[in-house]
A and B are shown apart, each in its own frame.
Chain A
Amino acid sequence: MLKVLKAGFYTTVQDSGRFYYRNKGVPVSGVMDDMSVFKVNSLLENKVTDAVLEITMTGPTLVFEEETYMVLGGAEMSATLNNSPIQNYKVYLIEVGDVLSFGRLEKGFRSYLAVKGGFKTKEVLGSRSYYKPITKFNRLVDNDVVPFSPQKEFQPKISEIKVASFLDRSVLEVSKGPEFDLLNDRQLEEIFSKTFTVAHENNRMAYQITETITSHSISMLTSATIPGTVQLTPAGKLIVLMKDGQTTGGYPRAVQLTDKAICILAQKKGGDAISFKLV
C-alpha cells in the first residue's frame, strides 16, 4: 500500500488507457505523457500497461507501507525520499515507512511515479485510469491508500538512464486533420507561423490556446475525435483534445498532434509558448 498523506494539486492513477468503449462515448484516458511513462515502467521491467501515479504541478506527500522499487519520471519536481533529493529515471529500493515528497516544480508539468508491478487499484471497463464517473473518484485525496504488490526480490538490469529531456521543447508536430482542406490560406498561415500561448484553461480533457485565429463558418456533422485532435471553433479558438477528451465533436478538426507532440504538450502549463509544425 501507498498512503497519501497530502494529495497535492491533482494526482491520479493512470494506465495505458480504457479502450473499446469509444463507440459508447467513453474517453480513452490513460497517462498524458506516454513517453515518460514508457521509461519509468521499462526501468522496473513492468508491462507498458501497468498503472502509475500521474502527479500534476504540485506533488503529494506519500508514505510507503510495503517494500517495493520505485522510479520517477516526467516533470522535474524537486522530489525527495526521506528528505534526501532523488533523481528521475533511477530505480530506488523502498523500505516500509519511506516518505516520498515533492518540492518546487522546476520543469514540465506532470511527473510519474511507478512501482514494481504497477499500482493495483480496481479496474473499471478494462482500465485503472481515473475518470469520473466511470471511476468513483477523479483524483486522490488526503488519506487515500493505493494498493500495490510488495516486492523485495528484484535486480534491475539497468538501474538508471540519462534521458534526453523533451521538457524544453515547444514545437508540436502535427499532421492534417480531417477538415484541414476546408481552412483558408490565412488560417493555415496563422496556425503555422504564430507562436501560441497555452491558456490557463488546460486539463486532462483539453488544452485551450489563448490566441485566436481568423474565424470561420464551416459547418459539419458531429464526428469522431481522438487525443491530439486540434479543433477550431467558429470564433477562431484552437482547442487541443487530450486523453480525457470527448470522443466526438462538431468543430472542424484542423490538425492532429503526433503521439510525441501530445507528450510535449502534456508537460506544458498555462502561459507556456508552443507552435505547430506540419510534418
Chain B
Amino acid sequence: MNSPKINIKPFGVHSVLIEWPNEVSEHILEKILHFETFLSKEVLTEHDWELVPSYNSLLVINRTEEIDFAKISADIHSWYGQLKETAKPDRYLWRLPVTYDLEFGLDLEDVASQLNKSIEEVIALHTGATYTVYGIGFLPGFMYLGGINKELELPRRANPRPKVLKGAVGIAGKQAGIYPQESPGGWNIIGNCAVPIFDASKENPCFVSVGDKIEFYKISKAEHDLRLIEAEVGIYKPEKIKIDA
C-alpha cells in the first residue's frame, strides 16, 4: 500500500506536528509508529528529541533548541520517502485481568439495562474485542482504546463522578479505557483492573505503548484481591504476546 500523505505544521518554536489524514485507521497508526521508530532510531537520535504519537499525528519536539522549520520540513518529507526499507517497531498484545464484580462495576447493571442485555452479555462483549491503543494522554498512562464492539456504544454518564477508583475500567461512546489513577471521571464504570497501567517507581513507568493491543479477561473478586497485593509489592507481570508485523 502507498504511504498516506503527510502535512507538517510548526507548533511553537521547539516542535513541529506531522499530520496524517484525519481518520481513525490501523493503517495510518502503523505508518505513524513506523515513522516514529525510524526517526528515533536513525535520524533524531540525540537526547534532545522527543516524539509523541496519537491517532493521526506525531509531535516532534526538541526540548533545548529552536527548530528551523523550513529545514526540518524538507528533511521530514525526505525521510518519510525512505521509510519503506526500514525496521518496524515491536508491538505487543497485553492481556489484562478485570473483575466485573458489582462492587467495582458501578454502572454495570445500568449499562446492561440501557443496552437491553444481561450483565453476562455486556462482559462477553467487553472481553470479546481486541482494542488498539491510539494514544496515551489526559493522565499518565491513560490509554485511548479503539475497537469497542458497536453493541457496547453508549453515551458517557450524565453526571461525572468526582472520584473514580484507580484501575476503573470504563466505556464511553466509541472508546474504552482504564483510569490509571484516582481521578474525576464521566465514563461508565464496568469493572476494575488490578494491574497498574502506570507505575512511577519503574524505569519504564508504563509498559503499554501507542500502537499496542489490549484484551481483557474476566477474573473473580478473590483473584482480583490477590492481584492487588502483587501490584502493591511490585511483582505483577502483565501477560504479553508479540504481534507479528
Contact = CB atoms under 8 A, between A and B. Distances in A.
Task: Note whether A and B form a binding pair.
Answer: yes
Interface of A: 19-27, 124-125, 133-135, 175-178, 220-224, 226, 228, 246-249, 253, 256, 258-259
A248 B52 contact: yes
Given A21-B205, A223-B57, A178 B17 contact: yes
Contact of A125 (B14, B63, B200): B200
Contacts of B200: 124-125, 133-135
Given A25-B180, A226-B61, A258-B12, 17 more contacts: A19-B50, A22-B61, A23-B52, A24-B198, A25-B138, A25-B198, A26-B205, A221-B54, A221-B56, A222-B55, A224-B57, A224-B59, A224-B137, A246-B137, A247-B137, A248-B135, A248-B137
B210 A23 contact: yes
Interface residues on B, range: 35 or more
B137 A249 contact: yes
B51 interface: yes
B235 to A, nearest CB: 20
Interface in B1-35: 9-15, 17, 19, 22, 24
A246 B138 contact: yes
Contacts of B15: 226
Question: Looking at B9, B52, B59, B137, which has the most chain A CB atoms within 10 Å of its CB?
Answer: B137
B55 A22 contact: no
Question: Looking at A24, A133, A228, A247, which has the most chain B CB atoms within 10 Å of its CB?
Answer: A24
Contacts of B205: 21, 24, 26, 125, 134
B38 interface: no
Main secondary structure of the interface of A (DSSP, over half): loop
Nearest to A124: B200
21 contacts: A19-B50, A19-B63, A22-B61, A23-B50, A23-B53, A24-B205, A24-B206, A25-B139, A124-B200, A125-B200, A125-B205, A133-B140, A135-B200, A178-B9, A220-B22, A224-B59, A224-B137, A246-B139, A248-B137, A248-B144, A253-B11
Given A133-B200, A222-B55, A20 B11 contact: no
Contacts of A19: 50, 63
B149 interface: no
Main secondary structure of the interface of B (DSSP, over half): loop
Nearest 4 Cβ contacts at the A-B interface: A248-B137, A224-B59, A221-B55, A24-B206
B141 to A, nearest CB: 6
Nearest to B9: A178
B228 to A, nearest CB: 16
B23 to A, nearest CB: 8
B12 A256 contact: yes
B209 interface: yes
Contacts of B13: 175, 258-259
A248 B140 contact: no
Contact of B12 (A21, A222, A226): A226
A25 B50 contact: no
Interface string B35-68: 0000000000000001111111101010100000
A23 B209 contact: yes
Contacts of B142: 25
Contact of A25 (B12, B19, B56, B141): B141
B24 A25 contact: no
Contacts of A220: 22
B11 A25 contact: no
A223 B56 contact: yes
A221 B205 CA distance: 25
B50 to A, nearest CB: 6
Contacts of A221: 22, 24, 54-57
A175 B51 contact: no
Nearest to A16: B63
B175 to A, nearest CB: 10
Nearest to B17: A178
Contacts of B135: 222, 248
Contacts of A124: 200
A247 to B, nearest CB: 5
Contact of B52 (A22, A175, A256, A259): A22
Contacts of B56: 221, 223
Nearest to B57: A223
Contacts of B61: 22, 226
A259 B202 CA distance: 31
A19 to B, nearest CB: 6
Contacts of A258: 12-13
B139 A175 contact: no
